[in-house]
Structure 1
Amino acid sequence: MIQKKEILFLWDGENWNPNGDMLNDNAPRIDEETGVAEATDVRIKRTIRDELIKKEGEDAVFIKEYKRDENILDCKTAIRENGIDIKQSKADLEKEILSRFIDIRAFGGVLPVSDKDEMKKDKEITTAGLQFTGPVQFRMSKSLHRVSVEHIKGTGAFASDYSDTEAKKQKQQATFREEDFLQYALFATYGVMDNYNAKKTDFSEEDAQKVIDALWYGTKNLITRSKMGQTPRFMLVITYKDDRFAGDLNNNLDFIGKKDDEAIRNIQDYTIDFTRLKAKLARYAESIEKIEYFVDYDFEQNHKDQFESDWIKIER
């Protein structure tokens, strides 16, 4: 069983789309009232899963895309694709899945196993589904400032429906694309690793280190067209002796911009004031076993005078 941990993670990017909204033409998620950008916990967990697959292999992660003849498979079929015997007892099913898949141990999940028709036909199948509450959970990530969105129009390389005979149609048949990008955003992600739920899923300290590393390195390694240049800037990992914890760490930072929020374009255009965060952690000092941190070189140069001497720098 792990000790309770809190994570505060700062990450940024330029000319990018950190988390497209499928209900809004995949545009970056923006809180219309405040003007800050958002990224869901699902996006954060996907970053971690992608990196775990790279480091631990495909077989270590359950929630991923399964395909057969270009068709995407559902969860019930995916369980069978992994060679899991669905006729074993529910307890044995849970044990096998938790022992094999680090993402289920970490994040939990609701996994359909069989349906009523199949269970009627085969009385040896007694489990309809499994549900795990994962110890690792993240809040909706928000940028620490209002963001500027750039709308881009362009043409594709190929026509959408080429005509051999009609010249007028040939001129009109180029494909067009429109998309939105954030010109810059610095996000704060807050997460908790809960010791009680960790016991239920057998989530270990070794697992915790792998997830933390995957969040840090996976953010940088996520090299796609819309996310090229994502950079992990700073991560604070607080390990507690008991069940008390500070909470709400992302709302205890002060963003000090050197220009208007929407005009910010890179890490040199602002600083982060840690004063309120450090004051809050000081109130929980008796419950804190250690405070560790990852840091990017540029962020460290701009903020190292704010780091406490007893914080332990992680270098691995």
Structure 2
Amino acid sequence: MKKKEILFLWDGENFNPNGDMLRDNAPRIDDETGIAEVTDVRIKRTIRDEIMKKDESTIFIKEYKRDENILDCKSAIREVINVKQEKIEIEKEILSKFIDIRAFGGVLPISDKDEMKKEGIKTAGIQFVGPIQFRMSRSLHRVAVEHIKGTGAFASGSDKANKTFREEDFLNYAIFATYGIVDNHSAKITNLSEDDVKVILRALWSGTKNLITRTKMGQMPRFMLVITYKNDTFAGDLNNCIAINSSKEDVEIRSINDFTIDFSRLKAKLTRYAQEIEKIEYMSDFDFEQNNRSQFDSNWIKIGF
């Protein structure tokens, strides 16, 4: 496994990419800048959900139930492994079974002191540092928020004559930059493979498009750049090396056709690290490539999943 950097651009129209529970599930927005934000937790959930469609057994972080009751983490672990093994055997079994733990790591409680005495369990918990990590994703422009009011389908309490009302906020449009890194040293500890990385990136791309809840339907993966390095050196901060070019004001942008992406600073930075880079691969959807192909570097290698 070699160190990698990931730059992923994706967008959506009339959507809520990541609701803030502390603000009635409104889109996350930086109040100072007007920039929309999406947490790394949301990005990882997109990946997990997509992988689970093909093989749910390879994902650990999910909902576990027993007799219709949702299990906590300690109980969930006991559903999938033998917790009375030695710690090293528990670690091996978890890493061999679950790609999300190999990729993202996790802190997994197994038992408390009383359980360890009563049940002969030898391990209180295990922890892995995930080799694949993502920053907070941010929109490349200030966003416009639309507040929508509507009526529900059901009556309001005992008042059978009136329906319930709902209110929600959507972004009219936003394009996000997601920056991630694959650490080669942590990958050795969790046994993350090159094939695992391909699965994760494929799930990030297709999972973004396949989110079909009413708040996220219409999200589109637009562009992904994957830089593989020869050694431990990496450029870093790639998400801050691109910018939007548009004749419109930020909050007036409504589609992928309202702007182009300026890659000049990104290309200059990668040129500085050229001797450390093994290869640069990219994937682009049709509309993004039509609008921005002239900005792509001739040394970038086009790939598909």
Q: Structure 2-normalised TM-score?
A: 0.98
1:118 equivalent in alignment to 2:108: no
Q: In the alignment, residue 115 of structure 1 is paired with which amino acid?
A: D
Q: Give 1:166's aligned residue.
A: none
SS in 2 for 1:170: strand
Question: Contact 2:155–2:161 (CA<8 Å) still a contact in 1?
Answer: no
Deviation at 1:176, TM superposition (A): 1.3
2:147 maps to amino acid: H
2:97 is aligned to 100
Letter in 2 for 1:116: K
Q: How does 1:165-244 map to 2 (within 5 A)?
A: 169-172=159-162, 174-244=163-233
Structure 1, 91-100 or 250-259: larger mean CA deviation: 250-259
Q: Name the amino acid aligned to 1:6.
A: E
Indicate yes or no: 2:304 matched with 1:315. yes
Q: Could you say which residue in structure 2 is the equivalent of 1:139?
A: 135
Aligned-partner SS, 2:44: helix
| Per-residue deviation, 1:255 | 1.1
Residue 152 of structure 1 aligns to a residue whose secondary structure is: strand
**CA apart distance, 1:128:** 0.7
State the match for 1:157 in structure 2: 153
SS in 2 for 1:91: helix
After superposition, the C-alpha distances for 1:103-141 in whole angstroms (9 at most, x for unaligned) are: 00000000011112211212x201111100010000000
Aligned residues: CA RMSD: 1.0
2:39 is matched with: 40
Q: How many residues align?
A: 305
Report the Cα distance in structure 2 between the residues aligned to 1:20 and 1:99, rounded to whole angstroms: 33
CA distance in 2 between partners of 1:239 and 1:251 (Å)? 19
Residue 258 of structure 1 and its aligned partner are, at CA, apart by 2.0
C-alpha separation between the residues in 2 aligned to 1:158 and 1:81?
39
Task: Tell me the TM-score normalized by structure 1.
Answer: 0.95
Distance (Å, rounded) in 2 between the aligned partners of 1:226 and 1:145: 20
Q: Secondary structure at the match of 1:31?
A: coil
Supply the distance in 2 between the matched residues of 1:24 and 1:65 (Cα, whole angstroms): 25
Distance 1:302 1:8 in 2: 18
Whole-Å separation in 1 of the counterparts to 2:296 and 2:244: 16
Residue 54 of structure 1 and its aligned partner are, at CA, apart by 1.6
**Alpha-carbon distance, 1:161 to partner:** 2.2
Residue in 2 aligned with 1:165? none
Moved more, 30-39 or 214-223: 214-223
Q: Distance in 1 between matches of 2:25 and 2:64?
A: 23
Cα distance, 1:266 vs structure 2: 0.2
Equivalent residue letter for 1:309: S
**What is the one-letter code of the residue matched to 1:94?**
E
Kept in 1: contact 2:84–2:121 (CA 8 A): yes
Consecutive unaligned residues of structure 1, counting only runs of 5 or more, are: 163-168
Query: Which residue of the partner structure matches residue 87 of structure 2?
Result: 90
Q: Percent identity?
A: 72
Structure 1: 4+ residue segments shifted above 6 A: none
Q: Distance in 1 between matches of 2:117 and 2:208?
A: 46
Q: Tell me the equivalent position of 1:11.
A: 10
